[in-house]
Amino acid sequence: MPNQLRFPAEWEPQSAVLLAWPHEGTDWAERLAGVERTYVALVAAITRFQSALVCVADAGLRERARGLLADAGAAMDRVRFFEVDYDDTWLRDSGPISLREGAGFRLLDFHFTAWGGKFEAGLDDQIVAKLHASGLLAGAAHQRIDFALEGGGIETDGAGTLLSTWRCLHERHPGLSREQVTATLESALVQSRTLWLDHGYLEGDDTDAHIDTLARFAS
């Protein structure tokens, strides 16, 4: 089927890397200068190979980021800015989970609760919808899913197998059984089986044992 949905593995070709620039209202406030230098190096490295889509909180931050990146030698023709309000920079968790859909792709917009309500997330939970509405991602469809999930909490091999930790998903959905959570994930993410890790919780981990700190698939 030409428009069959598929959840690609992370090592597959991608259109761009999505980031949110740090500012004084994010977790990085106490070490902002150092983190900003790291972001400059990161985006400059990304643009050696592909495009970077950089979220900025306002026009002033956009111009600051643009100037720092240009001074660092980033390929500015591969940098696009998207002005949007956000609570923090953790777009691996608050940003879209992308499925391939024919020649295009679909942005899955799960409910982002800042890891079970630990922090403010009202702005971050709107990023995916606003990104789609902006028209920056031509050919992308948008699907809002009323289910709490973060990108760092799941891992796929690109061939239908999903890997996650029960601790994390149970914390987000204490009223659902493992069978119910599994069915929801496999339906939304187009997976044929789910492997659950029952161990590996790290003390003090705000994510409640995201799989991306514990185990990853390789090609």
What's the confidence (pLDDT) of residue 89? 98
Under 8 Å between Cβ of 28 and 57 = no
Tens of each residue's pLDDT in the chain, 219 residues: 456 999 999 999 998 999 999 999 999 999 999 999 999 999 999 999 999 999 999 999 999 999 999 999 999 999 999 999 999 999 999 999 999 998 899 999 999 999 999 999 999 999 999 999 999 998 899 999 999 999 999 999 999 999 999 999 999 999 999 999 999 999 999 999 999 999 988 999 999 999 999 999 999
What's the confidence (pLDDT) of residue 139? 82
What's the confidence (pLDDT) of residue 3? 62
- Whole-angstrom distance, CA of residue 27 vs CA of residue 137: 27
What's the confidence (pLDDT) of residue 99? 97
- Whole-angstrom distance, CA of residue 199 vs CA of residue 214: 10
CB-neighbour burial class of residue 77 (10 A; exposed 0-12, middle 13-18, buried 19+): exposed
- Whole-angstrom distance, CA of residue 57 vs CA of residue 82: 8
213 sits in which H/E element: none
What's the confidence (pLDDT) of residue 140? 94
- Could you say which DSSP state residue 96 is in? P
- Whole-angstrom distance, CA of residue 168 vs CA of residue 97: 17
- Whole-angstrom distance, CA of residue 136 vs CA of residue 154: 26
| Secondary structure of residue 130 in the 3-state scheme | helix
